[in-house]
Structure 1
Amino acid sequence: MAHKFKTSDFNYDLPQSSIAQFPSEPRDHCKLMVLDKKSGNLNHVKFFEILKFLQEGDLLVFNDTKVFPARLYGTDKKSLKPIEILLLTKIEDGLWTSLVKPGKRMRLGSKFVIGNQHNQIHGVVEQVNDSGSRIIRIDDDSLIYKLGELPLPPYIKKSVGTSDNYQTVYAKHEGSVAAPTAGLHFTQGLLEQIKLKKIETLFVTLHVGWDSFRPVKDENLENHQMHSEYWELSDEAAIKIKNAKNDGRRIISVGTTALRLLENVADISGGYENIKGGTGWADIFITPGYEFQIADGLITNFHLPKSTLLMLTSALSSTDIILDAYKVAVKNNYKFYSFGDAMLII
């Protein structure tokens, strides 16, 4: 009988000092732990040495989403006190699902203003959702790009310099509130070397939501509800994926977001043989016991305790192997989370 996992099975001790506060410079000089997903054997190298572990014919799948300036600071019109808004999903022009702080100032009907004398966004809270999020209406979406800031994760306490530090070098389609962080380690030079080694690449789009930073609260995994994230897959990408699978070549996902897109598409298509280009919303929740249909390997960072991303990573190998590797990572001063070091699981 299959083991039934609980949320606490994915807990581990992480010293505060292990949480990276700024990115590696250059990007591809962070540490890379290479993990054999079946045996648990480990290799410790630098990220730019990843080519030693990739083979001609491998297909690397990148998420080319781009983080947009989703964090807005403003004032509650009634109390004249400060408020903070994180835009999550655009429902239609001027209408957004958002997180707000503090909630008591952003009740149903609350009006707010963002900006300065020259540029102002006026808005109102139209709905309070059961999850605590809000649906807000604002009068000018175009000013988001002038007045908003990139929403760094809550555990990053320091400035990261230019906003480019929180974008991949291949970021293209705006819509994420968090970077697909496994991709932050790639430089243009490394991408060129990958092509020279005849490793195939393709780009998909999944706009990353706030779930990345949301620990699972319920001990029973079945009670956790994933938020949907918008994805796009081109016809050309679908053909490349099918060809790689039919040829028996490895498909390695750069990040958990690209992996979730791949598996979600396979799920709704009834297997990789039937996938085709399209768009949709992914709410797939991958936990140990899941049978992967497309992904053979994963490049990823080290994730939060009790997070859906740690559960997904464990599903590709095993919970024991992943948690043992995390212990080794702490002992060897690997850095964790968004700006941290990386793992290659193959």
Structure 2
Amino acid sequence: MKVSGFDYNLPQERIAVYPPEERGSTRLEVLDRSSGEIGHARYTDIGRFLGAGDLLVLNNSRVVQARMHGSKTSGGKVELVLLEKHREEQERVMYRGRLKAGDVIVAHGQELIVRFVEGEGVAVLEAVSGEALSAVFARYGQTPIPPYLQRNAEEVDRERYQTVFAEIPGSVAAPTASLNMTPRMLEELRLKGVGIAYVTLHVGLGTFMPIRVDDLSEHVMHREFYSIPERTVAAIRSARERKGRVVALGTTVTRALEHAAESLLDGDGHEVLEGEADIFIYPGYRFRVIDSLLTNFHAPRSTVLMLTAAFAGKELLRKAYGEALERNYRFLSYGDSMLIL
């Protein structure tokens, strides 16, 4: 299967560059896989499509202030985005600019030294002071909004590029399908008898990295740490026993649940399930855990678009995207949403 099969024309004016004025005020395209019908609603209408016994699973990972700009003491500007711990006080970062081992970067008065460059725009850095580099980023970093927004982070992003239930720090990109969810909506779902459960999957920048091969079978997916708490494991097993639907709020939840499918479905103990999700889901994949998916409108040729196509069906998704473009839906992280039943 070729990457080119997931290309489409996304006009720049269809990209939501800023969040809506009010959280939850966005539109919702609804796909029924069994009938092939496409409907249109509001994000706040989600409760119309879920019922008692269904289970909505959300990602409670919190976005960290992961982007910083600095200058090399030898000259030249560098942009840094925190990725993950390497060891001790060292961190793996993605960078823009030119770096080599031994370079010293000054950012907000802090000196950072490049220990080595891994390639693909990734290097390992540490603070000269000996302070944990993650603490330096926490103090001086900016919100790491997606590069396709083509602007610098602003104060509005600190609040709105974060879900209302974000709890556990670790993501360098938001689980964006949840950005429009509100406490009121969650309470209304609970009152209706819909279960609410959480997983933690720390989103990495790999979600924005382009696929560099033509054949999807050759693509190596990035890894992302996830944890599924005991109560969520129990809730998923209970929902399936009652014939309720497991509704994934976003592709990050989907990746965590499907990566842990064997333990979720075949286990019977009370345990926390943890791992590193490196699962690459594209058409032909057989979903084992999730029954419905609430997600964004994704960028062309992206792995999250391929996951969505695997769940919805490639042709139905193509039709739905075409209709969304005709109806002036807003695309990508701050945009409108799609519910696939």
Instruction: Give your verdict on TM over 0.5.
Output: yes
Per the alignment, residue 145 of structure 1 pairs with 138
Q: 1:29 aligns with which of 25, 32, 37?
A: 25
State the partner residue of 1:18. Answer: 14
- Following TM superposition, by how much is the alpha carbon of 1:88 offset from its aligned partner in structure 2, in angstroms? 0.8
Q: What is residue 92 of structure 2 aligned with on the other side?
A: 97
Question: Paired residue for 1:123, among 99, 112, 124?
Answer: 112
Task: Tell me the TM-score normalised to structure 1 length.
Answer: 0.93
1:319-338 aligned at under 5 Å gives the runs 319-338=314-333
Aligned with 2:72 (options 53, 73, 76):
76
Partner residue of 2:5 out of 5, 9, 15: 9
1:265 and 2:257 correspond: no
Shift of 1:323: 1.1
Post-superposition offset of 1:17: 0.5
What do residues 175-222 of structure 1 show as CA deviations (whole Å, max 9, x unaligned)?
Answer: 001000000011111111111111001011000011221222211112
Structure 1 residues 293 and 57: CA distance shift in structure 2, 3 A = same
Aligned to 1:86: 81
Select 1:157's aligned residue among 150, 161, 166: 150
Tell me by how many angstroms 1:42 deviates. Answer: 1.0
Report the 3-state secondary structure (helix = DSSP H, G, I; strand = E; otherwise coil) of the residue aligned with 1:129: strand
CA contact (8 A) 1:38 1:317 kept: no
Contact 2:260 2:273 in 1 (8 A): no
Residue 278 of structure 1 corresponds to 273
- The CA RMSD over aligned residues, in Å, is 1.4
Q: What's the offset of the Cα at 1:160?
A: 5.0
Letter in 2 for 1:143: V
Please give the alpha-carbon distance, in whole angstroms, between the structure 2 residues aligned to 1:212 and 1:68.
Answer: 16
C-alpha contact 2:100 2:114 (8 A) present in aligned 1: yes
Match of 1:230 in 2: 225
Residues in 2 aligned to 1:227 and 1:170: alpha-carbon distance in whole angstroms? 25
Partner of 2:193: 198
Mapped contact 1:127–1:135 kept (Cα < 8 A): yes
Are 2:120 and 1:135 equivalent residues in the alignment? no
Q: Give CA deviations for 1:267-301 in whole Å, capped at 9, x if unaligned.
A: 4x3x6122741322111100111111100111000
> What 5-or-longer segments of structure 2 have no aligned partner?
none
Instruction: State the 1:336 CA deviation.
Output: 0.5
The number of residues matched between the two structures is: 333
- Is 1:307 paired with 2:302? yes
Between stretches 273-282 and 87-96, larger displacement belongs to 273-282
Verify the 8 A CA contact 1:206 1:258 in the aligned structure 2: yes
Cα distance in 1 between the residues matched to 2:71 and 2:17: 29
Residue 236 of structure 2 aligns to a residue whose secondary structure is helix
2:147 aligns to what SS in structure 1?
A: coil
Which aligned segments of 4 or more residues in structure 1 are displaced greater than 4 angstroms? Answer: none
Q: 2:211 is matched with which residue? A: 216
Moved more, 141-150 or 171-180: 141-150
| 2:36 is equivalent to residue 40 of structure 1 | yes
Contact 1:126 1:136 in 2 (8 A): yes
TM-score computed with the length of structure 2 as normaliser: 0.94
CA distance in 1, matches of 2:324, 2:30: 11
Structure 2 match to 1:244: 239
1:317 maps to which residue? 312
Q: SS of the counterpart of 1:143?
A: helix
Contact 1:23 1:160 survives alignment (8 Å): no
1:83, distance to aligned residue in structure 2 (A): 1.4
Aligned amino acid, residue 223 of structure 1? E
SS of the residue 1:238 aligns to: helix
Secondary structure, counterpart of 1:8 in structure 2: helix
Aligned residue for 1:22, secondary structure, equals: coil
Q: Tell me the secondary structure at the aligned position of residue 27 of structure 1.
A: coil
Q: Distance in 2 between matches of 1:237 and 1:54?
A: 18
Task: Name the CA distance, whole Å, in 1 between partners of 2:305 and 2:123.
Answer: 28
Paired with 2:21 and 2:34, the residues of 1 have a C-alpha distance of 32
Which runs of 5 or more residues in structure 1 are unaligned?
Answer: none
